[in-house]
Amino acid sequence: MPDPSPTSVGTLFAIGGAEAKLRRRTVLRAFVAAAGGADARIAVVPTASSLGPEVIEVYRAVFASLGAGEVVALRPESRAEAQDPAVAAPLADVTGVFMTGGNQLKLSAFITGTVFGDAVVAAHQRGAVVGGTSAGASILAEHMIAFGGAGSTPRQRMSQLSVGLGLLRGAVVDQHFAQRNRYGRLLSLVAQSPSLLGIGVDEDTAAVVSDGTRLEVVGRGAVTLVDGRHLVSNAYTAQPTAPLLVSGAALHVLPAGSSFDLTTRTLIGHHTAVADVEVQETRAAEADLRQLAVEIAAEGVSPTNYRRHVRRGQA
Amino acid sequence: MPDPSPTSVGTLFAIGGAEAKLRRRTVLRAFVAAAGGADARIAVVPTASSLGPEVIEVYRAVFASLGAGEVVALRPESRAEAQDPAVAAPLADVTGVFMTGGNQLKLSAFITGTVFGDAVVAAHQRGAVVGGTSAGASILAEHMIAFGGAGSTPRQRMSQLSVGLGLLRGAVVDQHFAQRNRYGRLLSLVAQSPSLLGIGVDEDTAAVVSDGTRLEVVGRGAVTLVDGRHLVSNAYTAQPTAPLLVSGAALHVLPAGSSFDLTTRTLIGHHTAVADVEVQETRAAEADLRQLAVEIAAEGVSPTNYRRHVRRGQA
């Protein structure tokens, strides 16, 4: 295993599943760029998937068409394989690790705490980008959501935690968040463990974490954060399946363009794309104003000044 | 119309739809009790429903079987009918008004601001219980959710406000909340109007508001509150269908037994039913402790004291 260099830790991509692989591939494009583009060497880890070579070929093709320099597939399919240094060896010089979707319990069962898992952690520490989609997103956290029921209302025992890779600390990552109605299961975890920040990522959307603390949002949907530090709950005593009390959680729904400080748990900023119609209206209004200014200025001034005003107006 | 008496305003029941009408009818039982039980005179208003006499007969039967003294049906089916004082006249001496589910825009179109609507408001002001389920819950608020899309993520223009009866001020009430995945549409409304408290009511659950400010929860699900007073949003500028930024909303999920102050927007308290297994375990442990105390006390004491200890232990 290479020594972690003194550079900052690599960027994390927690993708909410179903990221676009044709046309507007915003999320995967950002991943390839972060991994180094033409200089990228990306390891695809399809361990969570029940599909075989298909899923590897899909990502190999997408990453190649997005300009990634090299793509290798690494697939430990048991804890024994993940303990084999030969399987983990290629992670020593990758610039990116991408874990596919599937069953995240396969990732925690086969990878967490093995030679392979440690090599992923080491890659992150020396600056490689580590990301994944769906199951591959959940495994990034220290406390991993293993499974749970659907529904907006948090209920006692509706979800389960397991042990993830620990690249993202103090947080739990859920995926397919809007599409599978997962407020309830995320809230139930935060109600039980209010120190955790709940992160719910929509499909075709990524929570991109740089320097271990700055979260930015890329993609079509939103990233929902539930900050439970000040909440009151009855999760230590409620009956199984009963709705849980969760009072005083801070809620943040962040679309693309948002940035959030995970340490202070506050919004850093947001860039909102201005609607096209507004751009057009503003341009039209500016043109009108320029014309008006020109006409006002032209009243009673010399032809030279008038021409100067006209020139400025058209600059 | 009768003069509003100086008594406090009536209790409001905002029911999230699909309340149980057989077996454990917790929500409707609470409504009948609040309306006076055997002394109740309840007006059923099925204006929102597209069903005819069926829906009237259902509620007539349920309320009767729950011990309501009298049930009358009042069904204005146009704004003209709702302006007819004869149609509204029976509201003068009811103790409860119950509006059924259906299309809440029929309620805002036919009732709000009419003689009939004013009579419902007057009934509430003199202390009558006013409630409704689904559409009948939304109409209680001043700002009524008219319709909107499903999904957890708030999006620009995904929902619409209309004008409700105004019995509940500063709040907007959505229903079928967990079952229809309505976080997004409630959040989108609060993002646009952060002064509103968003109230999402699950099915077979009621937000019961007394004295205009104390909210209590009855039924099987939860009532979700989104307090947007301190939120940051881009709702004034985001593009149509784009996910909305909502940062810093306070979230409260309240199961049965919770009470919440709508004025200060803080949790008053919560009563959690203790699990049966814990009750049994505690009783067993208490019995063990009594026995132990008896045995300790019995060591080296007289037979009389020993018998007294045994008797106490078995009390």
- Mutation for testing the B interface, residue in A188, A272, A281 having most B CBs under 10 Å: A272
- Using a 10 angstrom Cβ sphere, with 0-12 exposed, 13-18 middle and 19 or more buried, the burial of residue B278 is exposed
Task: Give dist(CA A197, CA A262) in Å, integer.
Answer: 8
The pLDDT value given to residue A310: 53
CA distance A116 to chain B (A): 36
Yes or no: say if A167 and A140 are a contact pair by the CB < 8 Å rule.
yes
Dihedral sign, CA of B153, A173, A159, A187? Answer: negative
CA distance A280 to chain B (A): 14
In chain B, residues with a C-beta closer than 8 Å to the C-beta of A181 are 152, 181
Would the CB atoms of A152 and B252 count as touching at under 8 Å?
no
The pLDDT value given to residue B218: 97
Is B279 an 8 Å CB contact of chain A?
Answer: no
Instruction: Please report the number of interchain residue pairs, chain A to chain B, with beta-carbon separation below 8 angstroms.
Output: 147
* Helices (H) then strands (E): counts for chain B: 10, 16
Is A212 an 8 Å CB contact of chain B?
Answer: no
Yes or no: say if A108 and A76 are a contact pair by the CB < 8 Å rule.
no
Is A228 an 8 Å CB contact of chain B?
Answer: no
Task: Give dist(CA B40, CA A142) in Å, integer.
Answer: 57
CA A76 from chain center: how many Å? Answer: 24
Count how many Cα atoms sit within 13 Å of the Cα of residue A312 in the half-sphere of its side chain.
14
- Residue of B222, B245, B275 lying closest to A253 (CB–CB): B245
Task: Give dist(CA A166, CA A102) in Å, integer.
Answer: 19
The pLDDT value given to residue A61: 96
Would the CB atoms of A255 and B242 count as touching at under 8 Å?
yes
- Residue of A151, A224, A247 lying closest to B252 (CB–CB): A247
- Using a 10 angstrom Cβ sphere, with 0-12 exposed, 13-18 middle and 19 or more buried, the burial of residue B6 is exposed
Is A200 an 8 Å CB contact of chain B?
Answer: yes
CA distance B265 to chain A (A): 10
Is B187 an 8 Å CB contact of chain A?
Answer: yes
In chain B, residues with a C-beta closer than 8 Å to the C-beta of A272 are 234, 237-238, 245
The pLDDT value given to residue A8: 83
Q: Which amino acid is at A46?
A: P
Beta A129-133 vs A12-15: how paired, if at all? Answer: parallel
Q: What ipTM does the predicted assembly reach?
A: 0.79
Is A103 an 8 Å CB contact of chain B?
Answer: no
Q: Which residues contact A66 (CB under 8 A, 6 or more apart)?
A: A25, A28, A29, A32
Q: What are phi and psi of B4, to 5 degrees?
A: -60, 125
Residues with pLDDT less than 50, chain B: 1-6, 301, 314-315
Q: Is B216 a catalytic residue?
A: no
Would the CB atoms of A273 and B239 count as touching at under 8 Å?
yes
Task: Give dist(CA A315, CA A291) in Å, integer.
Answer: 12
Residue with token string 């992670």 = A91
Active-site pick, B203, B233, B252, B258: B203
Count of C-beta atoms within a 10 Å radius of residue B292? 11
CA distance B112 to chain A (A): 31
Active-site pick, B108, B134, B138, B258: B134
Q: A159 pairs with which residues across the strands?
A: A148
Q: Is domain A12-270 annotated with CATH 3.50.30.50?
A: no
List Cα–Cα distances, A37 to A7, A131, A219, A281, in angstroms.
19, 15, 19, 38
pLDDT in single tens digits along all 315 residues of chain A:
344 444 589 999 999 999 999 989 999 999 999 999 999 999 999 999 998 789 999 999 999 999 999 999 999 999 999 999 999 999 999 999 999 999 999 999 999 999 999 999 999 999 999 999 999 999 999 999 999 999 999 999 999 999 999 999 999 999 999 999 999 999 999 999 999 999 999 999 999 999 999 999 999 999 999 999 999 999 999 999 999 999 999 999 999 999 999 999 999 999 876 655 556 666 777 777 776 666 666 555 455 555 555 555 544
The pLDDT value given to residue B36: 98
